[in-house]
Amino acid sequence: MSHPELPPSAQLMNLLWGRAIACSLSGLAKLGIPDHMSLADPAPVDSLAAATGAHAPSLYRVLRMLASLGVFTEHPGQRFTLTPIGACLRADAPDSHRGVAMMLTDTWQMRGYEHIEHSLRTGDNGISAYAGNANTFEVISQNPAHLANFQVAMTNYSAMEGANLDPLLDFDSRFQKIADVAGGHGALLAQILRKNPSLQGVLFDLPEVIAQAPSPADAGLAGRLHHESGSMFERVPAACDAYIMKHIIHDWDDARSHQILRLICDQLAAHAPTHGRLFLAEMIVPHTPEPHPAKFLDVEMLAVTPGGKERTESEFAVLFENAGLQLVQVHTTPGPICLIEARVAQ
């Protein structure tokens, strides 16, 4: 939203409107407005309102504002079409961000940012300012709607990032059994197993998450995909020669990340000390000053997670070393996500 031709105060004001933008996008996603729109045929506001139960004059004002930012295109007669950006808000888009838009304004998210001053003063996440000792994921799990939005958002991320990661997931000739730790509903693991037909897989997450995951038969992976539930701070699936976690370590501080990594290291050391691998699908914070998604996601971690953060490559290397692992390679992708490969330290 930066416009160098504007005076600095106006540029700052444009940044401060971020809340209005995020909340408006979220509201439209929750109402399903973009699902009734297309890239080609202008939709009248009155028709969109009638189809979704929205208030037409208010809907027009929100669409007009977002059209000025390139999310929609406004046509004469209060009619709108999607732009490629707006199309990502459709539930059926291949790179849908509808779940992400809905999640980012759920109460637990908003309260985290509401208390960002608390985070700046103390280093604690904003949620702790109102939820006490309950961590973010306990807060989410207490509200079925929030948990559902969170899982849909994670599935959105998997679909978006899965295409970028896919060329790096040729595992058939290297491993026999891979565990996706804190793998949610299993979108990434299903992608890996379909790509590697000889590989066995274990989806591991909390009981309430596994209960909502598609069954191995429904995923078309009966006999190859197995479900296990438990806490990754207490155990991880045994006897695997590969482990993968996507956007998990960034949720936790170094001490709790160490707990998870140490458990994985112990399993690899016992069952696959030489060829076994751990893969972390994470963003890496660059050392350059330019904008980067990892820098924005890092502040998200500050506001809403129990000590989570995005890390530099050197910070990952230290984290691995302290857990008995060693960094092997950082595999980059066309997007901001990387596949970070580690092994048992030799």
Give CA–CA dist 330/346, Å, rounded. Answer: 18
Amino acid at 193: L
250 given a catalytic annotation: yes
CA 55 from chain centre, in angstroms, equals 32
Among the listed residues 97, 146, 185, 250, the single catalytic one is: 250
Q: Are 192 and 199 in contact (CB under 8 A)?
A: yes
| Pairing label, strands 225-229, 200-205 | parallel
Give CA–CA dist 329/312, Å, rounded. Answer: 13
> Cβ–Cβ contacts within 10 Å for residue 181, how many?
24
Q: Write the DSSP symbol of residue 40.
A: S
Q: Are 186 and 163 in contact (CB under 8 A)?
A: no
Helix or strand (DSSP H, E) at 231: none
Helix or strand (DSSP H, E) at 182: none
Question: Looking up tokens 């701070």, which residue turns up?
Answer: 233
Q: Are 279 and 243 in contact (CB under 8 A)?
A: yes
Active site residues: 250
